Structure 1
Amino acid sequence: MTDTTTIPANDDGAGALPDGWLRVESLDLEAQGVARRADGKVVFIEGALPGELVSASTYRKKNNWEQATLTAIHHESSQRVAPGCPHFGLHAGACGGCKMQHLHPAAQVAVKQRVLEDSLWHLGKVRAETLLCPIHGPAWGYRYRARLSVRHVQKKGTVLVGFHERKSRYVADMGVCPVLPPHVSAMLMPLRALVGSLEARDTCPQIELACGDEVTALVLRHLEPLSDADTARLRAFAAAHPSVQWWLQPKGPDTVRLLDADGPQLAYALPEFGIRMPFKPTDFTQVNPHINRVLVGRALRLLAVQPNERVIDWFCGLGNFTLPIATRAREVLGVEGSEALVARSRENYKENQAPAQAGRALAATTFVARNLFEMTPQALVQDGVADKWLVDPPREGAFALAKALADLHQQRIGAQGAGLLPAGAEAEGWTPPARIVYVSCNPATLARDAGLLVHQAGYRCVAAGVVNMFAHTAHVESIAVFERSDTPG
């Protein structure tokens, strides 16, 4: 696609370009190159990288912008690299699972850092006082969780197992997937053959993958009951792939069950804290266990929990942060919206309570289920005083939580228009946490919540940085630290 056309002599980065050429200025949140035509109209170009001079074919036009696909590169970015997967690209049938394999992994991290900084400033009017070093790790073989679509294509006489094609509902014809663990990538073709051999091959639309430290759980979604012959085929596959453990899902996530109860437990470890976390394959866990271990360690160092402190972990899930916090704090409260996850977190707490596992007994820890998207100042006060918070929300962010904290601050300082304090708040001596560590999977909602914390809740954003949990995708995870403005820096 790269040509050898000479760049015009007057092209110094701002000069006129030949007709049809575009200068790519940046990447957007979907990893599309952003360019502008001479009339100022923005063009989003799939496959183009910042600094490149390109030609592109427009496939969608609006008054102020266009979407286009790269057709030629006249001047290539020094950060462009050969994709590591044969199924990545702009060609027909290309896999849509990754968007940035053509960009050097280090440059991907830099782009995501810029996205975080821009989001904080443009959406929240917040600048972090310190930029944290990015957390990044292996660029390949990292994806320990995935939802693989399955389709029996009768006309071709084959079964497809993998991600969807780029911008399509069709399943990509994948033979390998380098972002999956090598042993899982090597199973794609055997899985295709397995499903093709099933009597139920037309009623099995999905296989969900969840890898633990010892177990590779495969959850087969089946719309009709499986025959004895089909379950025997699943068992034979597991016997040929010793780490595989089959789970069956006839209906919703609550119906997931093990095909056979024998074998090791699906779990992952956090060795730095002596914690072992059992989980079900449909429970939420981080996609990248390598990054998760580093992230948990950094979050606790930033939180700087002391033995005499009480900490609240909001959106605590299975206890991924809660249990490590409990190895440091005096008391911990974990709050989560899902009753099922709260039950699992309680089980995990009991399993890790033995002093020998964590070096000492875990702190007194309570888990409660609550809808955190309906948090109020009154409910916040009722949860009691905490020295520090860990906040790890889904993509929707933690707006209600930040808003409740902001409302309490505005009421306390007597801001104009602020309502009365919740009954009992002053009598109980409630005070906001001195420090908040916020782990985010969406820079836009982080920026929105950061704006509330900084401009209305009395906090400073003392640090922020990206976490490259999903290499080769445009997904941006990050971590930010907030301290009360009256706390010494």
Structure 2
Amino acid sequence: MIDPKLLTLDIESLDLDGQGIAHHDGKVAFVQGALPGERVVARITRRKPSFDKAVTEQVLQASSQRTVPACPHFGVCGGCAMQHLEPAAQLAIKQRALEDALEHIAKVPPCQILPALQGPTWRYRHRARLSVRYVAKKGGVLVGFRERASSYVADIRQCLVLPPHVSALLVPLRRLIESLSHPDRMPQIEVAVGDEATVFCLRHLEPLTDQDIAQLRAFGEHHQIVWWLQPQGPDSAHPLDPLQRDALAYSLPAYGLRMHYRPTDFTQVNPHINQALIARALQLLDVQATDRVADLFCGLGNFSLPLATQAREVVGIEGSATLVARAREDAENQGLAVRATFTELNLFEVDADWLRRLGHFDRMVIDPPREGALAVAQALAALAPEERPRRVVYVSCNPATLARDAGVLHHVGGWTLKAAGAVNMFPHTAHVESMAVFEP
């Protein structure tokens, strides 16, 4: 008897979740584990009126770009959905995803496609949130990432995208948490790897005992880990040893800078790509010594402070008071406070009049979260030609919202999309980071 849930499908393309896309019976099928150009036998796992979800059971005709996943947990752990595809092909798909978004959403192709930025494909992830779960059926505590399309924590013992010394601690962390007083009340550990220190920030829902503290200290000393504790929200996070409050920092040697941060602050997960991203942004902006530059969604000054080493004045604007304080402190400590000023403001609620009141900017960087920068795009589109910056560089972590904002800038404001290109911030995942350049 033929299993009605088994289908032979020809895979046409890949979506942004790393699923193969095929068609059958007038519907789209999203197939986990399949690559473009392949013929596979897939098992239907979910049916909807307009699409089906499926998982690959057998590859009948393999893509030349298929590779053997290096991680033994591939297919279970939800962290790296594209390991079965050659890294160069992953990058090409991300570039195509960016171009498709600009074509179909913005309806404005870039004048130039920038070469994609890429770096190491393994051991690159210096920021991570490890889930912690006490699971009696699996013998105790699990520490790692969630299973694919599930809230369960995967039973992983190594992670090839984490730095080796962090990956090696996944199993010891299990044993440590099991030994503490409330192992079922510690839901996560934030990992932050700086140039000279690795911080583990433990979220705990019950007070820690003196014995808990002693065990954390012993683990930290043995494995050279700095512990932070987070009993409530992110603002409650604090170092176990107050003298280690400023242990985390990353260097930007091209600009003579050292950026300090806390384990709960937003920073880029990939330090190699971050340095390349900054270098390209400043190159594309073509900053002159007399320029006044705006850095919107500036965070802790990742672009602002490098810009301040080259421009006359930099104005950083950010919605997080914590990050603004951090940026001001670093600017002061590194002798850039005269050139770089920082302000807290909700950039999702701005308009052209607000932008005019800030005074004229020669250049602008926009680096928003996944929601994009619609209000900023509308404000820029409403400015008169003589009021506009000569160049805007938009750094995006979501091609759909970048395309939406590019459409506003181009179709409403008449801005030109001069160039755009993908940035492989998260190898082996479907996450697409990108950069675009606009001129009035």
The match for 1:248 among 229, 250, 273 is 229
Aligned runs of 1:74-153 on 2, under 5 Å? 74-89=60-75, 94-153=76-135
2:351 corresponding residue in structure 1: 376
Instruction: Supply the distance in 2 between the matched residues of 1:320 and 1:246 (Cα, whole angstroms).
Output: 25
The equivalent of 1:23 in structure 2 is 10
- What residue number does 1:169 align with? 151
Deviation at 1:362, TM superposition (A): 6.8
| Cα distance between partner residues in 1 of 2:353 and 2:416 | 24
Task: State how 1:441-480 maps to structure 2 within 5 Å.
Answer: 441-480=397-436
Matched residue type, 1:309:
D
Could you say which residue in structure 2 is the equivalent of 1:65?
51
Matches within 5 A, 1:243-392: 244-263=225-244, 265-353=247-335, 364-392=339-367
Distance 1:120 1:40 in 2: 27
| CA displacement, residues 449-474 of structure 1 (integer Å, 9 cap, x when unaligned) | 01111112221111110000011111
Q: Does 1:192 align with 2:171?
A: no
Distance in 1 between residues matched to 2:31 and 2:317, nearest whole Å: 42
Letter in 2 for 1:350: E
Normalised by the length of structure 1, the TM-score is: 0.87
User: TM-score normalised to the size of structure 2?
Assistant: 0.96
Taking the aligned partners of 2:299 and 2:137, their CA distance within structure 1 comes to 44
Amino acid at match of 2:368: P
1:36 aligned onto 2:23: yes
- What is the one-letter code of the residue matched to 1:250? P
What's the counterpart of residue 188 of structure 2?
A: 206
For 2:7 and 2:140, how far apart are their aligned partners in 1? 42
Residues 114 and 363 (structure 1), Cα distance of their counterparts in 2 relative to 1, 3 Å cut: farther
Task: Assess if the C-alpha contact under 8 Å between 2:381 and 2:415 holds in 1.
Answer: no
Q: How big is the shift at 1:363?
A: 5.7
Q: Assess if the C-alpha contact under 8 Å between 1:200 and 1:230 holds in 2.
A: no
* C-alpha displacement of 1:40: 3.3
Q: CA RMSD in A?
A: 1.3
- Determine what percentage of the aligned residue pairs are the same residue: 59
Letter of the 1:364 counterpart: R
Unaligned runs of 5+ in 2: 1-5
Q: Which residue number corresponds to residue 54 of structure 1? A: 40
CA-to-partner distance for each residue in 1:400-458, whole Å, 9 max, x for gaps? Answer: 0001121234xx7xxxxxxxxxxxxxxxxx61101000000000000000111111222
Residues 273 and 327 of structure 1 are in contact (CA less than 8 Å); yes or no, is this contact kept in structure 2?
Answer: yes
Partner residue of 1:407? 382
Report the counterpart of residue 392 of structure 2 in structure 1.
436
SS in 2 for 1:34: strand
User: Aligned partner of 2:13: which letter?
Assistant: S
Paired positions, count: 434
Contact 1:323–1:362 (CA<8 Å) still a contact in 2? no
Out of 210, 216, 225, the residue aligned to residue 228 of structure 1 is 210
Structure 1 151/198 Cα, relative in aligned 2: closer, same or farther at 3 Å?
same
Moved over 6 A (4+): none
Q: What secondary structure is seen at the aligned counterpart in 2 of 1:155?
A: helix
Contact 2:328 2:337 in 1 (8 A): no
Q: Is the 8 A contact 1:312 1:388 kept in 2?
A: yes
Question: Retained in 2: the 8 A contact 1:332–1:363?
Answer: no
Paired AA for residue 104 in structure 1: E
Deviation at 1:41, TM superposition (A): 1.9
